[in-house]
């Protein structure tokens, strides 16, 4: 089974968000069948003993001999809880997964903290060898404009484009304007990966260096320490990505 075009992923997203979610339409069945055929080449491992990081905005306070001591959140707070977890990029409401990063600063950036806020940051150690879906390793990266004007035509190019779009869907930073339906495509993919026996998903971060991980088993990594960090600075970088337009009268003034 092969993908028909690089647009197959967008078709999948549109159908599961706006048409049918739990009983899949024919294009979604075909897309997932083609995705299944590519899974053997999309695997990576996370070895027992690997150290990863997780951040949460906020901290705890202890009172010791009349003094107030700032400390990181407890282990119970630093691990998600099925009863209280909301919607996430990988998990629907009520199903908890462990979101981690292999880069300290990136795990904090993923929280989108504001200047002056304080975060609890825990270090976790992986407890067993894990078999993950590798979303990020593609031979070519694609921009949205490139896919519009220079779409891939070979099956290899289409596969790369599909997996690059999947990586982008997982790594896109969560924004205040997101709705729960924005997460449906990636949530379905996660359950699809779990069904095929994987322990988690790995993808590039959209907010920093390194990679992010979603582990399906909350016991697959154990908290070994937790500290508190404060936000010293917030930096944005911008670049113009399309041609600028000019109003006609101003364009004439440039000539």
Q: For residue range 45-84, what is the model confidence (pLDDT) as tens digits?
A: 999 999 999 999 999 998 777 788 899 999 999 999 888 8
pLDDT of residue 1: 80
Considering the entire predicted model, what is its pTM? 0.88
Per-residue pLDDT tens for 216-252?
999 999 999 999 999 998 887 888 877 777 777 766 6
60: which 2 tokens? 């705890």
State the pLDDT confidence band at 180, using cuts at 50, 70 and 90: low
- Output phi, psi for 22, to 5 deg: -105, -30
What residues does 57 pair with on adjacent strands? Answer: 119
Report the residue count for the chain. 255
- Cα 178 from Cα 200, distance rounded (Å): 23
Of the candidates 35, 30, 24, the residue with the CA atom closest to the CA atom of residue 169: 35
Of the candidates 27, 54, 35, the residue with the CA atom closest to the CA atom of residue 135: 35
């Amino acid at each position: 089974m092969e993908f028909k075009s690089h647009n197959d992923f967008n078709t999948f997203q549109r159908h599961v968000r706006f048409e049918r979610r739990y009983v899949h339409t024919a294009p979604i069945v075909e897309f997932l069948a083609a995705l299944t055929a590519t899974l053997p080449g999309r695997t990576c491992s996370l070895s027992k003993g690997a150290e990863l990081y997780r951040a949460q905005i906020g901290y705890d306070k202890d009172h010791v001999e009349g003094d107030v001591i700032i400390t990181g959140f407890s282990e119970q707070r630093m691990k998600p809880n099925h009863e209280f977890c909301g919607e996430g990029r990988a998990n629907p409401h009520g199903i908890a997964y462990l979101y981690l990063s292999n880069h300290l600063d990136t795990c904090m950036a993923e929280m989108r903290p504001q200047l002056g806020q304080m975060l609890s940051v825990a270090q976790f150690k992986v407890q067993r060898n894990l078999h993950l879906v590798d979303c990020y390793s593609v031979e070519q990266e694609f921009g949205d404009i490139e896919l519009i004007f220079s779409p891939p035509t070979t099956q290899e190019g289409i596969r790369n484009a599909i997996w690059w779009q999947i990586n982008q869907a997982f790594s896109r930073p969560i924004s205040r304007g997101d709705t729960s339906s924005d997460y449906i495509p990636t949530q379905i993919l996660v359950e699809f990966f779990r069904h095929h026996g994987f322990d988690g998903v790995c993808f590039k971060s959209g907010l920093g260096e390194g990679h992010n991980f979603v582990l399906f088993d909350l016991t697959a990594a154990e908290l070994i320490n937790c500290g508190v960090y404060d936000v010293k600075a917030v930096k944005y970088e911008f670049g113009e990505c399309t041609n600028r337009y000019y109003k006609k009268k101003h364009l004439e003034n440039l000539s």
